[in-house]
């Protein structure tokens, strides 16, 4: 359950109404067909669009040691935040770069992937995650998914783990094509065909006293029969302080040059990412979003979640 309220901090006397909404209502089924074949299906009953009801639908094949071959609808692999479940984040909303740079049209798509790790030493391992998909839109076939241009996403990195400390360093890439539908969703004459390239880097430090994560992304979209667009970038930095009571403060800074997005989030949490019951409180300073005079109004988010 999710509540948000907006405050008139830009002085224009216009404020969106506050209110409650069911942010997510997800049902997941997973299990074994055999010791080497697993399945996972997840639906979101509150998703406003029919195409978003089915989230995950894949089979995992475990025939290679420390590697999983994943076939079906799955997340495209890029960066840090998008690969985390929203139930395990310290903030209510994902960063702007997670939408603008770290994915295609959507976060999931139909395809095949390989995910796993290669041990290097007792404390260090190499991590790999790559997905090969149809275009960048799920539940769409034919030209609307732009299937003539496949998409390749991936993240490669190193993980160090010792006692209560985990450090992850990663680099990500994405390349492919997608299609922006014009004002007429049926007539292709006003659509834009885009070739995209993405690069990213991330670091995560998980300690018993704090959690620190930072992510950077670089992107270009090339419109066919047009000039190359200027590259756009984004980054975010998150810090959450841990305590023995599973409650603590947090802060995040989130920037995207695509739409002059700059926001600062401060707040608190109850419950660690893997806990069954959590409460998140975020106050988002939005005055530096400059696409309107004076910036946007600040927002307060309060979210309670139960996983069972």
Buried b or exposed e, range 103-139, using 16+ CB within 10 angstroms = bbbbbbbbbebbbbeeeeeeeebebbbbbbbbbbbbb
Give the H/E segment covering residue 96: helix 96-100
* Phi, psi (deg, nearest 5) at residue 202: -145, 155
- 137 lies in which domain range? 2-306
CA distance 255 to 214: 12
Listed range (187-196, 236-245, 278-287) with the worst mean pLDDT: 187-196
Q: Of the candidates 78, 91, 210, which has an alpha carbon nearest to the alpha carbon of residue 151? A: 78
Beta-bridge mates of residue 235: 216, 255
Give the count of domains, the chain: 1
Q: CATH code at 55?
A: 2.40.160.10
- Beta pairing class for 298-306 and 151-162: unpaired
Q: What is the pLDDT of residues 25-56, one digit of tens each?
A: 999 999 999 999 999 999 998 876 666 788 99
Token duo for residue 5: 């309220």
If pLDDT is split at 50, 70 and 90, which confidence band does 146 have?
low
Q: What is the pLDDT of residues 226-276, one digit of tens each?
A: 655 678 999 999 999 999 999 999 999 999 998 788 999 999 999 999 999
CA distance 3 to 223: 39
pLDDT > 70? residue 224? no
61 compared with 186, residue with greater pLDDT: 61
Alpha-carbon Rg for the chain, nearest whole angstrom, is 20
């Amino acid at each position: 359950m999710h509540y948000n309220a907006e405050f008139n901090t830009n002085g224009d006397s216009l404020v969106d109404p506050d209110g409650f909404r069911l942010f997510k209502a997800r049902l997941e089924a997973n299990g074994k067909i055999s010791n080497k074949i697993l399945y996972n299906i997840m639906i979101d009953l509150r998703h406003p669009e029919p195409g978003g009801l089915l989230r995950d639908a894949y089979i995992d094949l475990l025939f290679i040691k420390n590697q999983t071959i994943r076939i079906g609808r799955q997340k495209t692999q890029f960066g840090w935040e998008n690969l985390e479940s929203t139930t395990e984040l310290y903030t209510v909303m994902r960063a702007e770069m997670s939408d603008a740079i770290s994915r295609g049209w959507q976060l999931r798509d139909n395809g095949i992937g390989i995910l796993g790790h290669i041990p290097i030493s007792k404390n260090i391992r190499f991590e790999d995650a790559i997905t090969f998909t149809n275009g960048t839109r799920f539940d769409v076939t034919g030209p609307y998914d732009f299937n003539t241009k496949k998409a390749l996403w991936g993240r490669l990195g190193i993980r160090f783990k010792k006692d209560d400390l985990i450090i992850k360093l990663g680099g990500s890439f994405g390349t492919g094509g997608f299609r922006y539908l014009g004002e007429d969703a049926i007539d292709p004459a006003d659509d834009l065909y885009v070739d995209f390239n993405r690069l990213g880097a991330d670091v995560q430090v998980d300690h018993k006293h704090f959690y620190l994560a930072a992510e950077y992304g670089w992107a270009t979209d090339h419109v066919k029969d047009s000039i190359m667009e200027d590259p756009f970038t984004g980054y975010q930095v998150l810090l959450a302080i841990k305590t023995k009571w599973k409650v603590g403060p947090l802060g995040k800074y989130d920037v995207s040059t695509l739409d002059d997005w700059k926001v600062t989030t401060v707040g608190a949490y109850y419950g660690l990412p893997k806990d069954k019951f959590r409460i998140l409180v975020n106050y988002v300073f939005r005055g530096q979003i400059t696409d309107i005079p004076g910036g946007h109004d600040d927002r307060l988010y309060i979210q309670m979640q139960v996983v069972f």
